[in-house]
Structure 1
Amino acid sequence: MTITKPAESVEAALPEAPVRIAAVQTVSGPDVDANLKAVDALIAEAAAEGACLVALPEYFPLISSDEMAKVRIREAEGEGPLQSFLADAARRHGVWLVGGTIPLQAEVQDKVRNSTLVFDAQGRLAARYDKIHLFGFQRAEERYDEAATIEPGSTPCCFDSPAGRTGLSVCYDLRFPELFRAMGELDLIVLPAAFTYTTGRAHWEVLLRARAIENQCYVMAPAQGGRHPNGRVTWGHSMIIDPWGEVLACREVGEGVVVSELDPARIAAVRESLPALRHRRLG
């Protein structure tokens, strides 16, 4: 199946009233078909709860002990079963779908781009973001090096959705506030993630709340959350946070969906009472 791109003029209306948004949490394993089946059911659950924009976690199609597995299932933009699944799911469930991340072809032969694709409710490609900051961590026997198999992106991405001006980021990007400043004023930040248990327990919530507070916008963070078949443990705690930094909804571990309202009036009220974005003097 070839993925249809929208015409340049296609643009979602900005919200005038509260809209419902949903973050999906998974515990993905090495079986792609099983992962997609689980995700489809969770998208359906989110749609049934009235969400107009649904976001999936990082690596939702595959988490494997074989780091080259994602290279073997990589796709060219515009074609492939993972992209077909996302486009079809968005269309069937009638939602805008932020497709977590999937592996797309990179310039380097044995690497991938860790890419977020967004599809509108008609199944048309609306945005693409390639993860810029690649995670590296080592403590005792715990070690991660995304740069070994992933080629970084270089361009921030934001777009208009039913939830307003929406900025995309992925997991480790959370630690780099300059990325979010580069996007300008946002109504919503979406951050698919697969935070480790170690770093998540220490930093996940405090960093998400900081990004919401300093950008005076909603933050939605769909995450991997639990013990995976390969033994990896991810932190989970998928959450939605309002512009004052209050956690509106959270799922700690296990598969599920968190849903909350994004209220444009709440954004306006926070920015009116504390006009920090207008007080900026640098950058």
Structure 2
Amino acid sequence: MRVQNFLVGAVSAAAALVPMAAMAGLGQPSPWQISFQQAATPIMEQITWFHDFLLVIITLITVFVLALLLVVIFKFNARANPVPSKTTHNTLIEVVWTVVPVMILVAIAIPSFRLLFNQLTIPAADVTIKATGKQWFWTYDYPDNGFSFDSLMVQEKDLKPGQPRLLAVDNEVVVPVNKVVRMQVVGADVIHAFAVPSFGIKIDAVPGRLNETWFRATREGVYYGQCSELCGKDHAFMPITVRVVNDKDYAAWLDEAKKKFANTTAPEGINVASTGTPQAQ
């Protein structure tokens, strides 16, 4: 915990030294941000910690190598050493520069493998949602509740106060707070990618292949993501919006969604152009 607090403090101090810089907000990007979006899941907290841990290691290595270069430049130049050294080897140095890098790699590998294991091991799910990437919108299925809906980007002229440009959608994914959500992701036409930065999830949506990931949001709020695989001319207009609510509001939303999206299926041959409206192929 002390190490984590030190790393967070170091990053905050660095941000204060950068003019116009800002720490990223929760759920969406911030102007001039220099770091990840704030974590809203345990996995994203681990990713942030691991990132800061690596930042410290690479900074120390960079400073050390720079110091060695300066020593060589100023101490071992021809003017300072008119008679060159005839040293051929140094056993101690050779052992050190072999053992120390191995120890550094092990120190990196242990938390790295732990993070990968936690990302790839899906706990027992409270909610299952299937996301199907299409050119250029998402279709979400709630198989346990028997309904599905399309989610399209809200056009700039239709944005409501507080809705971010290019990120807000007409139909949001709604999930309960502090519940394990299993995301099943597939592509309907080309490869897409389902990514929500504050959740620490990013997984390809591949046609004919069902990929899975998971998250457990620990804070209520609205979280934005985007398709993160170049999927065609309107790739930039394929956002993801996830609203995290308490159990009571989630139950109420489910009741409303079952009526609103009853017997609805995604129409065949539909895409969303940069205008954000469905267009027949």
TM over 0.5: no
Larger radius of gyration: 2
TM-score (normalised: structure 2): 0.25
Q: If each structure's helix is expressed as a fraction of its own residues, which one has the higher value?
A: 2
TM-score (normalised: structure 1): 0.25
